A and B are shown apart, each in its own frame.
Chain A
Amino acid sequence: MTILPGSVGTLSASDDIEHAIAPEPGRTALLKDMLFGQASTIFAFSVVVIFLLVAILAPWLAPYDPLAQSILSINKQPSWAHWLGTDQFGRDVLSRMIHGSRNSLLFGLISPALAAFFGTILGVTAGYFGGVIDRVISRVVDLLLAFPELLLAIMIAAVLGGAFWNIIAVITVAFVPGFARVARASTLAVKQEPYIEAAVAVGLRTPTIIIRHVIPNIAAPILVLMTLWVASAIRLEASLSFLGIGTRAPNPSWGNIIRDGLNNLFGSPWPIIAAGFAITCVVLSFNLMGDAVRDVLDPETTR
């Protein structure tokens, strides 16, 4: 917490200048402040809670069967019977949206968690052992990091095809390099600490050192990355489903609701408008939440 030179007036680059001067509050207080201190975070928190509830309670909330087609009610405009209208197969758009939220939630939570797991293993291995292992892992990770996640996901999905676990695998692989890099860098830093040297001197076995002493000390940045990437995973699943290589029809996902909507532009624009709005809101909220979590767990990062 140093006062930056030239921090008087508007010259400073630091967004956290108020924090730099104010005394540091405790962690729980900070958490409370981050979650409820700002209107935007309250908004984000509410959207996330609503989203979670909708996804969990989908079968009870949806007014219709999301797969039930009806020739009699094709392309209906929004009405009391169908709040968001119906699509070209006469399916209720609201029900499809509600069920589609489950996909977003599943992918949004499972992929970052899996990627964190594998990425940490790779990164810690590379960082702790160094040498040839490090060079090989780092090289591949650098290479994969050069690819935008979406492009990587498209390329892998192109090869694998789009069953549920394939999509999970695709998004996971797209995220692993990022985690591996963070885990490696953190491990390198932790390895310099005296307590690791002490653990080695005491004669602890390497796996024990890694599990007991390295991993707990690199957990924070990885957790931060995980929360930040929930939003990315949801977006990625939507994109892949939109492209027709994610969740397959007839199962609803926000991405493929937009895809179907695009094939039915002259019929009804409502599926597109509603599904896209839902994706935007949820991704925006998870982004804001991720930022808040980062500020709590990783206070040193400045935006």
Chain B
Amino acid sequence: MLYRLADAIPTIWLVLTLVFIAMRILPGDPAIAALGDGALPEQLAEFREKMGLNVPIWQQYFNFLIGTLTLDFGKSYMNGAPVLDLIARNLPYTIQLTVAAMILGTVIGIPFGVLAAVKRGKLPDSGMRIFSLVGYAVPDFYLGALFLIGFALNLRWFPINGAGSGFFDILHHLFLPALTLALVKAAFIGRLTRTSVLEVLGKDYVRTARAKGARENRVIYRHALRNALLPLATGMGLSLLATLSGSVAVELVFNRPGIGRLLIQSITERDYGVIQGGVVVFALMVVFVNLMMDLLYVVIDPRIRVK
């Protein structure tokens, strides 16, 4: 377990180094990019001074590493606002959305998958196949746009944009974007659940449970699903990251604040200070989620702890 934690450190270092190199490979001078071709030499010098671009490259690299460690992501090239503030303001919305989608997707996906596995080859199974085929193919932003047109614009059941304030208002704003990501996720989780449960249903202990006369529901939920959880947990980790990246487009569709929209906006404005901060935050989230998944395995499956 400690090894896993220690293993994350070189990973984070490598990620930061790659981000730094990528940001410096850019052709052109960031100062000119930010201020435009018409900027005076004094303005450029002042900008470099302010953004810490006037020191040797290795020192910039060092400052970047130290800055990230102390959660100082630099400043916006556009208005000088600390990137950390921008991120702190937007991150809660992205987390709200991702968590809500995760819960909704699991609640829809797992029972559907179990049903498909139990009724293998029958109607629910075919339903699952079609659902997962379409779920793999439909872009989340398209699904979101359809919901927006249908439920928000025409039926007016839901607000068109923003994130809301106050508990119920937030949930009201959250529902459609979360459902969008959740359905795509449910297609994946459902398919995965079906496969893992089918696998487990063929095992000896399930036969034993049946032979003992355990009721079918008990067999499925206590014996089969529990053992199907491990491969499911792996998949959930993957799909959490997929949801995180999906949130970028969905935030844009529903015009919700969030890290994704912040990043996209900064790309449009060529605000490299914010781009760098946003990319680092996303990268750290990926490393963090992977680490959490590793630790979760240990909790779910005690056999791994021995290693």
Which residues of A approach B to under 8 Å, CB–CB? 4, 6-7, 10-13, 139-140, 143, 146-148, 150-151, 154-160, 231, 235, 238-239, 242-245, 255, 258, 261-262, 265-266, 269, 272-273, 275-276, 279-281, 283-284, 287-288, 303
Contact = CB atoms under 8 A, between A and B. Distances in A.
Interface of B: 11, 14-15, 18-19, 22-23, 25-26, 120-121, 133-134, 136-139, 141-143, 145-146, 148-149, 153, 160, 195, 198-199, 201-204, 207, 238, 241-242, 244-246, 248-249, 252-253, 263-264, 266-268, 275, 278-279, 282-283, 286-287, 290
Contacts of A143: 11, 14-15, 18
Contacts of B133: 284, 287-288
Given A11-B202, A239-B139, A284-B133, A265 B283 contact: no
A273 B146 contact: yes
B219 to A, nearest CB: 12
A159 B27 CA distance: 10
A11 B249 CA distance: 41
Contacts of A140: 14
Interface of chain A: mostly helix, strand, loop or mixed:
helix
Given A143-B15, A276-B139, A13 B202 contact: yes
Given A265-B149, A280-B142, 10 more contacts: A143-B11, A151-B244, A155-B279, A158-B263, A158-B279, A160-B26, A243-B249, A244-B268, A279-B139, A303-B195
B207 A272 contact: no
Contacts of B134: 280, 284
A156 B246 CA distance: 16
B146 A244 contact: no
A29 to B, nearest CB: 25
Nearest to A283: B137
Contact of A272 (B142, B245, B252): B142
Contacts of A150: 242, 245-246, 248
B149 A159 contact: no
Given A13-B198, A148-B241, A238-B139, A265 B286 contact: no
A140 B139 CA distance: 29
A243 B266 CA distance: 12
B245 A6 contact: no
Most buried by B among A139, A262, A266: A262
Given A150-B245, A284-B137, A158 B149 contact: no
A96 B133 CA distance: 27
Contacts of B198: 12-13
Given A150-B246, A244-B268, A279 B286 contact: no
A276 B142 contact: yes
Contacts of B278: 158
Given A11-B201, A13-B195, A159 B290 contact: no
Given A143-B14, A158-B263, A242-B249, A151 B139 contact: no
A265 B266 CA distance: 24
30 contacts: A6-B202, A6-B204, A7-B202, A11-B202, A11-B207, A13-B201, A139-B14, A143-B15, A146-B286, A147-B286, A150-B248, A154-B245, A156-B22, A158-B263, A158-B278, A159-B22, A159-B23, A235-B137, A239-B249, A242-B252, A243-B264, A245-B264, A258-B142, A266-B153, A275-B142, A280-B137, A280-B139, A283-B136, A284-B133, A284-B134
